[in-house]
């Protein structure tokens, strides 16, 4: 499908843009353009366009506002030393987007439309891709039910959109170990639920647990399985990894309740090159506690596109905690290995990088 281009007649001035790019933060500022396409029953996808970034008019009866039929993706555009701009495994995001769409009873977005949208947006807003350090442009494709109808059924009309935000490092203070709150009052996902889909509803359901974490001085929440309250699943928006003294790198299996992170998958593929043995297996809260205490587990980290790899310092629960504030050596090594590929400083042996402009 052709994406028509409607350039913004009132782009931000170079001074205004440079001021933002000097200290972008995370997800606070948006570029001059966005992508929008519409799907309706009968017509399928149509009206794909790059257009000026701005508010969208919505009918107050739009189904998404009532029944939360919404999914999203998150990926980044990285500026390499020669000035070119690249994305990391965008096809994997397109595939996952459509798995999420299927779970939420939404239409699929053709892979070409998903990938072309990203490319066109990055091309027209290339001046917004910051260089240097861990700066990048965060891309947020999303889809929502736009039909004005209060009956409960999959909607007959959807919008697919992509917006872009220049970003710096996710944690502004640099890489430092985070404290994780073990949620025992709330579950994130259950068998048969939407845990494996990247949908806004999962995040909404996790916010109260996140507040509980903040009250305990923790930055993130660790969710356990909803049945036995025993097995480690993931954080609100990041997957977890455990480094064992014997050289194994363990992450919980996805099994329908965990979001299949692209960072998680990439680390499974990279582990061998780093002399580690990747293993997907269930790991219990008890094993985390006793493993850290005995020294069998030497490092714990979280991973996701936004923050790359973040060391987990402490696991905190009602009445106790385990771990220290040290930054693991293997965590740092894996982090740099991934960043080196993304920023074009290391050879792309897996064919993960895709040039945008
Ligand atoms: C997006 C997300 C992740 C990380 O996925 P990446 O593809 O690595 O960015 C992990 N958990 C949840 C719940 C997520 O929404």
Question: Which residue's CA lies nearest to atom 13 of ligand 1?
Answer: 237
Q: Which of 139, 167, 195 is at the close of a domain?
A: 167
- The verdict on the CB of residue 195 being under 6 Å from ligand 1 is no
In a domain, 348, yes or no: no
- Is the C-beta atom of 135 inside 6 A of ligand 1? no
Give the pLDDT confidence score for residue 325 in this predicted structure.
81
One domain for residues 192 and 338: yes
**Are 244 and 250 within 8 A, CB to CB?**
yes
Residues 144 and 16 in one domain: yes
CB distance 239 to ligand 1 below 6 Å: yes
What is the model's pLDDT at position 169? 86
The CA distance from 276 to 290, in Å, is 22
User: Domain check: are 144 and 194 in the same one?
Assistant: no
23, 135 Cβ separation under 8 angstroms: no
CATH number of the CATH domain containing 232: 3.20.10.10
Q: How high is the pLDDT of residue 170?
A: 82
Give residue 224's pLDDT band: very low, low, confident or very high (50, 70, 90).
very high
Q: Tell me if 50 is assigned to some domain.
A: yes
Helix (H, G, I), strand (E, B) or coil at 156: coil
Residue 167 CA, ligand 1 centroid: distance in Å: 17
Q: Compute the average pLDDT of residues 26-43.
A: 97
CA-CA distance, 318 to 316, in Å (whole number)? Answer: 7
- Residue-wise pLDDT for 157-195, tens only, equals 999 999 999 999 887 677 889 999 999 999 999 999 999
* φ, ψ of residue 293 in degrees (nearest 5): -65, -40
Whether 20 maps to a domain, the answer reads: yes
101, two tokens:
């769409």
Give residue 291's pLDDT.
97
Q: What percent of the chain has pLDDT over 90?
A: 96
Q: Check if 259 has its Cβ closer than 6 Å to any atom of ligand 1.
A: yes
What residue owns the CA closest to ligand 1's atom 12? 237
- Are residues 113 and 235 both part of a single domain? no
Task: Tell whether 350 is covered by a domain.
Answer: no
Residue 125 shares a structural domain with residue 86: yes
In this prediction, residue 312 carries a pLDDT of 97
Number of domains in the chain: 2
From atom 1 of ligand 1, which residue's Cα is the shortest distance away?
A: 237
pLDDT-derived band at 150 (thresholds 50, 70, 90) equals very high
Query: 276 and 193 share a domain?
Result: yes
The rounded percent of the chain whose pLDDT value lies above 70 is 100
76 lines ligand 1 (CB under 6 A): no
Cβ–ligand 1 distance for 33 under 6 Å, the answer no
Note whether 141 and 261 are same-domain residues.
no
Report whether residue 225 contacts ligand 1, using a CB cutoff of 6 Å. no
Mean pLDDT for the stretch of residues 226-240: 97
78 and 118 in contact (C-beta within 8 Å)?
A: no
Q: Looking at the domain assignment, is residue 15 inside a domain? A: yes
Residue 327 has pLDDT above 90, yes or no: no
Q: How confident is the model at residue 154 (pLDDT cuts 50, 70, 90)?
A: very high
- The residue range of the domain holding 12 is 4-167
* Strand positions, DSSP E, the chain: 4-5, 33-40, 44-52, 70-72, 75-79, 85-88, 136-145, 157-167, 178-182, 220-224, 232-235, 239-244, 248-251, 277-280, 297-304, 308-317, 320-323, 353-355
| 155 and 236 part of one domain | no
Mutate to test the pocket of ligand 1, among 140, 204, 236, 261 (most ligand atoms within 8 A of CB): 261
What CATH number does residue 97 fall under? 3.30.470.10
Per-residue model confidence as pLDDT tens digits over 35-75: 999 999 999 999 999 999 999 999 999 999 999 999 999 99
pLDDT exceeds 80 at position 18: yes
**Tokens 């939404």, residue located:** 106
Count of residues making up the chain: 357
Report the pLDDT value the prediction gives residue 338, as an integer from 0 to 100.
97
Atom of ligand 1 nearest to the CA of 93: 7
Whether 157 and 287 map to the same domain: the answer is: no
Q: What is the mean pLDDT of residues 244-258?
A: 96
Query: Ligand 1: distance of its center to the CA of 51 in Å?
Result: 28
**Other CB atoms within 10 Å distance of the CB of residue 328:** 19
Check residue 105 and give its pLDDT.
98
Residue that terminates a domain, selected from 145, 167, 189:
167
Query: Which residue among 103, 259, 310 is best mutated to probe the pocket of ligand 1, counting the most ligand atoms within 8 A of its Cβ?
Result: 259
The reply to whether ligand 1 has any atom less than 6 angstroms from the CB of 263 is yes
User: Is 201's C-beta closer than 6 angstroms to any atom of ligand 1?
Assistant: no
Angle between helices 111-124 and 90-103 (to 10 degrees): 130
Q: In whole angstroms, give the CA distance from residue 315 to residue 75.
A: 28
Residue 236 CA, closest ligand 1 atom number: 13
Q: Determine whether the shortest distance from the Cβ of 21 to ligand 1 is under 6 A.
A: no
Residue nearest to atom 10 of ligand 1 (CA): 238
Quick check: CB of 265 below 6 Å from ligand 1? no
From the alpha carbon of 74, which atom of ligand 1 is closest? 9
In a domain, 117, yes or no: yes
Closest residue by Cα to atom 15, ligand 1, is 237
199 lies in the same domain as 315: yes
DSSP E strands, 168-307: 178-182, 220-224, 232-235, 239-244, 248-251, 277-280, 297-304
Residues 109 and 184 in one domain: no
pLDDT tens digits for range 264-314:
999 999 999 999 999 999 999 999 999 999 999 999 999 999 999 999 999
Structural domain includes residue 172:
no
Q: Assess if residue 280 is contained within a domain.
A: yes
Same domain, 209 and 290: yes
DSSP state, residue 152:
S
pTM value is 0.97
Of 1 and 308, the one with more pLDDT: 308
């Amino acid at each position: 499908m052709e994406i028509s281009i409607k350039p913004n007649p009132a782009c931000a001035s170079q001074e205004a843009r440079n001021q933002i790019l000097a200290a972008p933060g995370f997800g606070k500022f948006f570029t001059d353009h966005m992508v929008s396409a519409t799907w309706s029953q009968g017509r399928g996808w149509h009206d794909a366009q790059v257009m000026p970034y701005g508010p969208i008019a919505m009918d107050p009866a739009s189904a998404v506002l009532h029944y939360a039929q919404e999914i999203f993706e998150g990926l980044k555009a990285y500026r390499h030393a020669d000035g070119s701009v690249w994305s990391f495994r965008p096809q994997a995001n397109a595939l996952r987007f459509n798995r999420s769409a299927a779970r939420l009873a939404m239409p699929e977005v053709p892979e070409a439309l998903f990938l072309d949208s990203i490319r066109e947006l990055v091309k027209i807003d290339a001046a917004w891709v910051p260089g240097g350090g861990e700066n990048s442009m965060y891309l947020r494709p999303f889809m929502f039910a736009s039909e004005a109808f209060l009956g409960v059924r999959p909607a007959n009309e959807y919008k697919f959109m992509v917006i872009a935000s220049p970003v710096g490092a996710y944690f502004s203070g640099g890489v430092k170990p985070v404290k994780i709150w073990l949620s025992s009052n709330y579950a994130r996902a259950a068998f048969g639920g939407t845990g494996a889909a990247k949908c806004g509803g999962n995040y909404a359901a996790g916010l109260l647990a996140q507040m509980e974490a903040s009250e305990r001085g923790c930055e993130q929440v660790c969710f356990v399985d909803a049945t036995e309250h025993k097995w480690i699943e993931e954080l609100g928006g990041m997957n977890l990894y455990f480094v064992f003294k014997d050289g194994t790198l363990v992450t919980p299996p996805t099994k329908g309740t965990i979001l299949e992170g692209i960072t998680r998958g990439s680390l499974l593929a990279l582990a061998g090159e780093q002399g580690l043995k990747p293993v997907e297996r269930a790991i219990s809260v008890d094993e985390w506690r006793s493993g850290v205490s005995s020294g069998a587990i030497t490092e714990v980290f979280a991973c996701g596109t936004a923050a790359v790899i973040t060391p987990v310092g402490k696991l905190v629960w009602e009445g106790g905690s385990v771990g220290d504030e040290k930054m693991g050596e293997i965590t740092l090594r894996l982090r740099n290995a991934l960043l080196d590929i993304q920023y074009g400083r290391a050879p792309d042996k897996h064919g993960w990088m895709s040039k945008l402009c």
